Amino acid sequence: MARPVFIVDGSRTPFLKARSGPGPFTPVDLAVQCGRPLLARQPFSPTDFDQVILGCVNVIADEMNPARVAALRLGMGEDMVAFTVQINCGSGMQSIDTAYRYIREGHADMILAGGTEALSHAPLVWPDSGVRWFAGLATAKGVAAKLAAAFKLRPRYLRPIIGLERGLTDPITELNMGQTAEVVGHLFGITRAQSDAYAAESHRRLAHAQAEGFLKGEVETAFSRDGKFFDHDDGVRPDSTAETLARLRPVFERPWGQVTAGNSSQITDGASWVILASDAAVAKHRLTPKAAIVDSNWAALDPAIMGLGPVMSATPLLQRNNLTLQDIETWELNEAFATQVLGCLAAWNDDKFCREILRLDGAAGEIDRDKLNVDGGAISLGHPVGTSGNRIVLHLVNAMKRLGTRRGIATECIGGGLGGAMLIEAV
């Protein structure tokens, strides 16, 4: 029989906006920064975990299998099994889902599941022509051959390719993620004014959450090697309004596009962890669960409309559990783009889409905006790709506890044409 799986605790770093050059933390640095205080406050040893699972997309060369490197730096023991998962934007949620299934099926009792990403450390890549030139130079035999190879150098061989830019471009459709959001917005008639208003509200909600202390206990202060400290998500712009955002030019489809830097998620560094436990581990260590994972679901769709991933993944999840949109009291829907979030809401409320694509009897209905991303989202926080899926689950659990709600769903679109959703219930 499937065993219950509980989320007992979690923490994350502040999300730090990428600016000029690499930020102060690598992916493993970030994972360690929020992992240490999380493990230090537990009534058990870090070595008591069965596994460590960490989502990460842009793994840097010095940290292959960052899950294992982080586990060792966190003092979890040399015999701790640790592995890294990657499903683009869903990586942080995939770590939770994998842990959930291990525990549910009786293969583990306690797992540390997380996500980490330092997008500011995304590499510059040599073009293939430059790689071939260097290979020719390295393998040339004798002085004359090496000189001949060296004289073949052309300036274009040394022109770097921005790795992050290529990573955020779908290799099948050749659309970057912002362009896929434009497609979704066009399909459902989302206007620029609607997108800017949504983005401004995201900043307002995060600023309010910070001011009211709603993130205390979730966000851990991070300390860099040069003695600086970081104690809050620094991409928030409390003075943002729909009017100020309206002045920004479209980024991906000029001049008529809807998606701008102001209504898109930010390029950001950050990490997040959650502790998952079985009922046996809860009893053994006298833990107090925050919530239980009820179910999860993954879906796939055309990469050109990847932004509708939440609709395609959350709808079957609801159906399988005999629930409707209105039965869910708290939602975390990752804000990749305001246009994309609004497109998802419009899709659920579109009779034709729900009948023809979701195979429902009619429109699923509306999600009350007061129940959606109550403390802001990736537009104001940022979207460290491998981390966001973990953060939205962690924050959903904390928001549900604060608001006293019973059921919540965390869901996200995933580059490449995927979506993930997780159903959480208060305990």
Q: Which residues contact 137 (CB under 8 A, 6 or more apart)?
A: 146, 149, 150
**What's residue 41's pLDDT?**
98
Number of other residues whose CB lies within 10 A of the CB of residue 365: 12
Annotated active-site residue 203? The verdict is: no
Shared domain for 148 and 184, answered yes or no, is no
Annotated active-site residue 413? The verdict is: yes
299 within a domain of the structure (yes/no): yes
Shared domain for 192 and 334, answered yes or no, is yes
Region of poorest pLDDT, from 15-24, 31-40, 265-274: 15-24
325 within a domain of the structure (yes/no): yes
For 341-357, what is the mean pLDDT?
Answer: 98
Binned at pLDDT 50, 70 and 90, residue 162 comes out as confident
201 within a domain of the structure (yes/no): yes
**What's residue 22's pLDDT?**
93
382 within a domain of the structure (yes/no): yes
pLDDT of residue 111 exceeding 90: yes
Binned at pLDDT 50, 70 and 90, residue 122 comes out as confident
> Tens of pLDDT along 25-51?
999 999 999 999 999 999 999 999 999
**What's residue 304's pLDDT?**
97
* Residues facing 407 on adjacent strands: 425
**Domain, as residue range, for 411:** 177-213+293-422
**What's residue 399's pLDDT?**
98
Binned at pLDDT 50, 70 and 90, residue 169 comes out as confident
State the CATH number of the domain containing residue 352. Answer: 3.40.47.10
Residue type at position 32: V
Shared domain for 140 and 200, answered yes or no, is no
Region of poorest pLDDT, from 127-136, 271-280, 327-336: 127-136
Work out the percent of the chain whose per-residue pLDDT is above 90: 92
Shared domain for 301 and 158, answered yes or no, is no
For 296-319, what is the mean pLDDT?
Answer: 98
CB 271 within 8 A of CB 394: no
**What's residue 241's pLDDT?**
96
- 207-236 CB burial, b ≥16 within 10 A, e <16: bebbeeebbeebbbebeeeeeeebeebebb
Shared domain for 186 and 153, answered yes or no, is no
Shared domain for 315 and 349, answered yes or no, is yes
Q: Which of 121, 203, 383, 395 is catalytic?
A: 383
pLDDT of residue 164 exceeding 80: no
Binned at pLDDT 50, 70 and 90, residue 255 comes out as confident
247 within a domain of the structure (yes/no): no
Q: Structurally, how many domains does the chain consist of?
A: 2
For 232-260, what is the mean pLDDT?
Answer: 94
Region of poorest pLDDT, from 35-44, 153-162, 233-242, 411-420: 153-162
Binned at pLDDT 50, 70 and 90, residue 21 comes out as confident
pLDDT of residue 289 exceeding 80: yes
Shared domain for 209 and 135, answered yes or no, is no
pLDDT of residue 370 exceeding 80: yes
Region of poorest pLDDT, from 132-136, 308-312, 367-371, 413-417: 132-136
86 within a domain of the structure (yes/no): no
Shared domain for 158 and 185, answered yes or no, is no
pLDDT of residue 158 exceeding 90: no
Q: Which of 89, 203, 344, 395 is catalytic?
A: 89
Annotated active-site residue 383? The verdict is: yes
For 42-71, what is the mean pLDDT?
Answer: 97
204 within a domain of the structure (yes/no): yes
For 350-371, what is the mean pLDDT?
Answer: 97
Distance CA 322, CA 332 (A): 20
Higher pLDDT, 416 or 165: 416
Shared domain for 200 and 153, answered yes or no, is no
What are phi and psi for residue 273, nearest 5 degrees? Answer: -130, 150
CB 263 within 8 A of CB 339: yes
Question: Quick one: which of 59, 63, 116, 94 has its CA closest to 268?
Answer: 116
**What's residue 276's pLDDT?**
98
Shared domain for 351 and 396, answered yes or no, is yes
Higher pLDDT, 260 or 167: 260
Mean pLDDT of the chain: 96
Shared domain for 182 and 149, answered yes or no, is no
11 within a domain of the structure (yes/no): no
For 384-409, what is the mean pLDDT?
Answer: 98
Shared domain for 343 and 368, answered yes or no, is yes
For 155-162, what is the mean pLDDT?
Answer: 86
Distance CA 29, CA 27 (A): 5
